Amino acid sequence: MNNKKIRVAITHGDTNGIGYEVILKTFADPAMLEICTPIIYGSPKVAAYHRKMLELTTSFSIIDRAEDAQEDRVNLIAVIGEETKVDIGQSSKEAGEAALKALDRAMTDFRSDLYDVLVTAPINKDNIQSDLFHFKGHTEYIENSVGDGNKSLMILLNERLRVALVTTHLPIKDIAEAITEEAIISKATIFHKSLKRDFRISNPRLAILALNPHAGDNGVIGNEEKDIIIPAINKLEENGIQAFRPYAAVGFFASEAYRAFDGVLAMYHDQGLAPFKTIACDDGVNYTAGLPIVRTSPDHGTAYDIAGKGIASENSFRQAIYTAIDIFRNRAEYDEPMENPLPKIYHEKRDESEKVRFAIPKPKDQFKRQDKKKIEE
């Protein structure tokens, strides 16, 4: 790779939330400009309003096009009109429209290869809805816009834990029907590929969570584990992917069993996000895997309740930038030898010793232990 600074596109999100606060606080540190060239898709007027209200000193340069971005500066492209009204801490249709215009322009510029990675500030999933945006969040919108037919995977991560989801923004009543063998295999396969390419883990180990309490207790509390999840795990193993159990979610996180794995596949949104956010505190990052674009975001929302008060932490947003840069570089390093691979002069024989070495006891063995109650409660 060359030494050119990575160009980080940033969409300003909901203009009434904490998006501008975390953006401006992040780039108040001059060291950030030593590692990347930020290009904010937003509004000079709205940015200046937030900066003055919060008594921040971050400066920015207004540009017309992404290709005009200069290194060692915070570059800002005006994507909305000067008349946009800011109503701090309140949801408004105008704020949703402003968020969508930034996203739309960023998608257009990605297709023209005008930046390297995308970091999105939080949106309000309600006020952004329109004839042009009928998605349940960033993930679905970006997949539809620049996915090129690839399926995305939501991964929540920090230095200690990576959690991916089989289902994302679904009502609880619809989750069980959406948990299919095919869905689990598809998401686990994307996860496995991402861990290898985006995080440079050569032989990833995946923990698969159960759907029901106590992992179904052999059908007493549900049959999804026996009928769907375990067969999916068996097929993943046949495909060369190290996938284990299903684990009861409560005991799995309470006992810190996640430390033995490179990734955890949860069945639904809150099953994965609730423990992740408890563990991650304020350094969690949301990453959209499986797509041509590298997109990350902080793992918090618009936070209307603290908007304009100057107390929002920028740590998660900063970590989102670091993560996007790391993934971009990892992909480049992974892809380079793949473009011109050396011809094989012998046939490799698969070595199962790695799986055996890291294998976790199967349910029937582990349930016999005296600490069964501690693990499964």
Q: What is the pLDDT of residue 281?
A: 80
What's the mean pLDDT in 282-295? 96
**pLDDT surpasses 50 at 365:** no
> 1-150+307-313 has which fold?
Isopropylmalate Dehydrogenase (3.40.718)
Question: 151-290+315-339+355-377: CATH homologous superfamily?
Answer: Isopropylmalate Dehydrogenase (3.40.718.10)
**pLDDT surpasses 70 at 362:** no
Q: What is the pLDDT of residue 329?
A: 96
Contact assessment for residue 41 and residue 9, using Cβ atoms and an 8 Å cutoff: yes
Amino acid code (one letter) for 32: M
Q: How far lies 369's CA from each of 196, 361, 365, 376, in Å?
A: 34, 11, 7, 11
Q: What is the pLDDT of residue 371?
A: 46
Distance CA(371)–CA(149), nearest Å, equals 46
Q: What is the pLDDT of residue 136?
A: 84
What's the mean pLDDT in 338-359? 54
Q: What is the pLDDT of residue 230?
A: 97
Which residue, 107, 99, 100, 127, is CA-closest to 14?
Answer: 99
Pairing outcome for strands 153-157 and 162-165: antiparallel
- Please give the model's pTM, rounded to 2 decimal places: 0.87
Q: What is the pLDDT of residue 217?
A: 84
Q: What does the mean pLDDT of the chain come to?
A: 90
Select the more confidently predicted residue: 247 or 366.
247
Share of the chain above pLDDT 70, in %: 89
What's the mean pLDDT in 247-274? 96
Burial class of residue 222 in the structure, from the number of CB atoms within 10 Å of its CB (0-12 exposed, 13-18 middle, 19+ buried): middle
Task: Provide the pLDDT confidence category of residue 373 given band limits of 50, 70 and 90.
Answer: very low
Q: What is the pLDDT of residue 370?
A: 45
What's the mean pLDDT in 231-236? 98
**pLDDT surpasses 90 at 182:** yes
**pLDDT surpasses 90 at 137:** no
Select the more confidently predicted residue: 340 or 95.
95
**pLDDT surpasses 70 at 341:** no
pLDDT tens by residue, 54-79: 999 999 999 999 999 999 999 999 99
Q: What is the pLDDT of residue 81?
A: 87
**pLDDT surpasses 80 at 108:** yes
Alpha-carbon torsion 140, 141, 144, 147, what sign? negative
Contact assessment for residue 85 and residue 49, using Cβ atoms and an 8 Å cutoff: no
Q: What is the pLDDT of residue 347?
A: 55
Residues with Cβ < 8 Å from 19, sequence gap 6 or more?
12, 13, 121, 122, 302
Share of the chain above pLDDT 90, in %: 81
What's the mean pLDDT in 177-181? 97
Q: Would 1-150+307-313 and 151-290+315-339+355-377 be classified into the same CATH topology?
A: yes
Looking up tokens 């509004």 gives 43
Domain residue spans in the chain? 1-150+307-313, 151-290+315-339+355-377
Give the burial string for 32-47 (b: 16+ CB within 10 Å, else e): beeebbbbbbbbbebb
Residues with Cβ < 8 Å from 373, sequence gap 6 or more?
none
**pLDDT surpasses 80 at 251:** yes
**pLDDT surpasses 90 at 336:** no
**pLDDT surpasses 50 at 14:** yes
What's the mean pLDDT in 247-265? 96
Q: What is the pLDDT of residue 357?
A: 43
What's the mean pLDDT in 213-237? 93
**pLDDT surpasses 70 at 10:** yes
Helices (H), strands (E): how many in the chain?
A: 14, 12
**pLDDT surpasses 50 at 278:** yes
- Tokens encoding 100: 């969508």
Which residue, 32, 113, 41, is CA-closest to 73?
Answer: 32
pLDDT tens by residue, 18-31: 999 999 999 999 99
